[in-house]
Structure 1
């Protein structure tokens, strides 16, 4: 993975996020979940349940809906299921090293944009109540300390801050924190099991320039366009971050 200090990685399932952190990060890495604790745990439970369900165990009507669209080949489907089983097996089995690592990673839940900006402005690793690991477990010399935000863009969506101005204000606070601490900053968006939207497509979504400066047009507020000038999300985030596939997508591409 690139050594860039500011990364926007491709969307990940909750289980993929946790596996990535357990594989590559340890104290004083901080994981900021941009949602409530209850919401994140519900998504994680749903992720695990969907990943471990038998292919025949689908809701009524779901099979026909899936087969009517372009389904992945059996080889790709088997590969995804095997990766999901391996990922979830590790999370559910709780090996000793995983338990030891997770105890020394700081996790914070922040549900609103206002709270996020306030948290970033006063963030200090010295405030953490998470204990420093023993020297035998501390990999700080091997890995750069990180602050990882999960759901940064999703938090702004459907709020008055869903704009180039709003995203820029939050991103600048995050980047300023990374420079101040000399930490790597990583943004990862949530992904669902059934999603046809690619990483590149998600970055092409339009947002208005100014917070509160645009509104949706048309009878469907979600699908309608914006009034006034707009810009793609990718262009806004490109000012601050380098874009990169996460290892969960890189491994899949390499095995195709």
Structure 2
């Protein structure tokens, strides 16, 4: 089976977690943040959904049903708050796969999901086509070595929903070709020199899934 490499849309963290749980497949979720940061964003997202009576009543994650919690054993969770820690984790994940090609083909397909990988680049000198390509290639290589499908998610920042450097808005941002390029004064979305959209960089390896 050909590995799937997709980019999916989930506006808020509870939607992502529910989607992963409902898939009922073995999932390795890498969160590009610290555990406290993740919990802070999750709490803010849940509170924003509770403010909407219709959403709060229908969202399984908020009701915390026994069945939902029982299925959570399907998800392995890891936190990588820096680019260095993420790349190191991916290198180890790929290298530690001891299964043979036949064993990988015979078992159910597992999923490697990475949350907010692009957002983690924004405040670094590697928010560029070069830096993003390096990280994306590392993820693709790790998933291939481990015989896993790969899916990326960028969720809205529930603490600042209008932010342009979180969520699906990130894919339309323009980045420079090389690391270390300088933003134009007064406009953080504009770079000196020629640039390319984040989506264009990602499309080298991934397909965008618009079903969610």
8 Å contact kept, 1:12–1:188: no
Deviation at 1:12, TM superposition (A): 2.7
**How many residues were matched structurally?**
200
RMSD between superposed Cα atoms in Å = 2.7
8 Å contact kept, 1:14–1:43: yes
8 Å contact kept, 1:166–1:211: yes
Of 79, 82, 101, 2:54 maps to 82
- SS of corresponding position for 1:160: coil
Q: In the alignment, does 2:188 pair up with 1:222?
A: yes
Greater strand content = 2
Q: List runs of 5+ in structure 2 lacking aligned partners.
A: 98-105
Farther-moved stretch of structure 1 (198-207 vs 6-15): 198-207
Q: In the alignment, does 2:204 pair up with 1:206?
A: no
Matches within 5 A, 1:1-256: 5-27=4-26, 29-53=27-51, 82-87=54-59, 90-123=60-93, 144-192=109-157, 194-195=161-162, 202-212=170-180, 214-218=181-185, 220=186, 222-223=188-189, 225-247=190-212
Deviation at 1:53, TM superposition (A): 1.8
- Which 4+ stretches in 1 moved above 6 angstroms? 196-200
- Cα displacement string for residues 123-153 of structure 1 (whole angstroms, at most 9, x for unaligned residues): 16979xxxxxxxxxxxx96x62001001010
TM-score by length of structure 1 reads 0.70
Q: List runs of 5+ in structure 1 lacking aligned partners.
A: 55-80, 128-139, 248-256
Change (3 A) 1:34 1:16: same
